[in-house]
Amino acid sequence: MNTLPQQLANGLLLGSMYGLIAIGYTMVYGIVQLINFAHGEIFMTGAFGALTVYFYILPDGTPMAAAVPLMLLGGAIVAVLIAVGAERFAYRPLRGAPRLAPLITAIGLSLALQEVVRNFYPEADKARAFPGLDTTHDIGSVTIKDADIFLICAAVICMAALAIFVRKSRTGRAMQATAQDPDTAQLMGIDTNRIIVIAFAIGGLFAAVAALAYGMKYGNVDYRMGFLMGLKAFTAAVLGGIGNIYGAMLGGVVLGIAETLASAYIDDIPGMHLFGGGSWKDVWAFCLLIIVLLVRPQGLLGERVADRA
């Protein structure tokens, strides 16, 4: 059996999830040059928001078809509120401060959010079961689940919507302007604070979509899930060119596929048995990152580094 199509599908799905989260890193970085390390935790709270809707708000036995939109709404509300709240109360007061200050704030916020969920969410000190969409479909030699279909559709729709929003809408153009030059944008009458809030909100929204997909795909969520996913998504954002929304998605997909293929095939290469398998996938993914950054320091789709640096 040829496993390549299945492995590519696995990688694409994982990568789409990285990409959705990476959007949040990249948009915020593009506009305020802040690496929002708490974004992984915003993703995590989105998952718990969706979980809350399913277990504590909806009546038992609600069909998933009806529950999913409501869970998405619940997760999005929580994630967006926390993202916007983080911007308003943690980052905005430090807007003019040296860059180290908001970065440390972000790390502190990340730990704080983890501990809040662990301590105050019922039974969150261990993995909580999440309703899954487990019906499988065979397409040729590829087996995928409903949750995977949700993920891929959500990623495509979100990306398309974001692209249209940024290009066509007034607010989107204002975002581009703010990213290019915040001071001049402000002089031209753009409310940059509002633009920054919107960037955080969109990041939170996308993280919530990814979180719902994550929960339904893996069937459980826990308070630490944001750490590793956040780190990977950040890597994806850098790989694709931080600041570029298409780069974030592309970086996510490339990273996901690289990880999957490395874990699947490296140990088949003669002499490479020791360096293959699932435990080395991160090593290969980061090697790829290093190579890309050596050849293209601005990332795959990065640009405008000159006026950033």
For tokens 């929003």, the residue is 165
Collapsing DSSP to helix, strand or coil, 223 comes out as coil
Residues 6 or more apart whose Cβ sits within 8 Å of residue 29:
35, 36, 237, 242, 243
- For residues 61 and 189, which CB has a smaller minimum distance to other proteins in the complex? 61
Is residue 62 involved in binding other proteins (CB under 8 A)? no
Encoded one letter per residue, x for contact with other proteins by CB under 8 A and - for no contact, window 231-260 reads x---------------------------xx
Q: How far apart are CA 78 and CA 81, in angstroms?
A: 5
Is residue 275 involved in binding other proteins (CB under 8 A)? no
Residues 6 or more apart whose Cβ sits within 8 Å of residue 17:
151, 155, 210, 213, 214, 217, 229, 252, 256
- For residues 144 and 209, which CB has a smaller minimum distance to other proteins in the complex? 144
Other Cβ atoms closer than 10 A to 101: 14
Encoded one letter per residue, x for contact with other proteins by CB under 8 A and - for no contact, window 12-51 reads -xx------------------x-x-x--------------
Cross-strand bridge partners of residue 129: 220
Is residue 100 involved in binding other proteins (CB under 8 A)? yes
Is residue 97 involved in binding other proteins (CB under 8 A)? no
Is residue 57 involved in binding other proteins (CB under 8 A)? no
- For residues 7 and 186, which CB has a smaller minimum distance to other proteins in the complex? 7
- Residue 259: CB minimum distance to other proteins, A: 8
Residues 6 or more apart whose Cβ sits within 8 Å of residue 60:
none
- Residue 217: CB minimum distance to other proteins, A: 8
- Residue 169: CB minimum distance to other proteins, A: 29
Q: How far apart are CA 250 and CA 265, in angstroms?
A: 22
Residues 6 or more apart whose Cβ sits within 8 Å of residue 11:
253, 256, 257, 258, 259, 260, 261
Strand locations in the chain, DSSP E? 128-129, 136-139, 142-145, 220-221
Is residue 118 involved in binding other proteins (CB under 8 A)? yes
Q: How far apart are CA 207 and CA 233, in angstroms?
A: 10
- For residues 26 and 110, which CB has a smaller minimum distance to other proteins in the complex? 110
CB 9 within 8 A of CB 254: no
Structure tokens at 95: 């807007």
Q: Quick one: which of 73, 81, 112, 127 contacts other proteins (CB under 8 A)?
A: 127
Stretch that binds other proteins, among 60-68, 82-90, 97-105, 198-206 (CB under 8 A): 97-105
Is residue 145 involved in binding other proteins (CB under 8 A)? yes
Residues 6 or more apart whose Cβ sits within 8 Å of residue 292:
239, 299, 300
- For residues 204 and 276, which CB has a smaller minimum distance to other proteins in the complex? 276
Instruction: Report the helix count and the strand count for the chain, using DSSP H and E.
Output: 12, 4
- For residues 59 and 98, which CB has a smaller minimum distance to other proteins in the complex? 98
CB 103 within 8 A of CB 35: yes
Site for other proteins in 166-225 (CB under 8 A): 214, 218-220, 224-225
Stretch that binds other proteins, among 52-60, 107-115, 186-194, 197-205 (CB under 8 A): 107-115
CB 49 within 8 A of CB 79: yes
Give the residues lining the site for other proteins (CB under 8 A): 1, 3, 6-7, 10-11, 13-14, 33, 35, 37, 99-100, 103-104, 107, 110-111, 118, 125-127, 129, 132, 134, 136, 138, 143, 145, 214, 218-220, 224-225, 227-229, 231, 259-261, 263-264, 267, 277-282, 305, 308-309
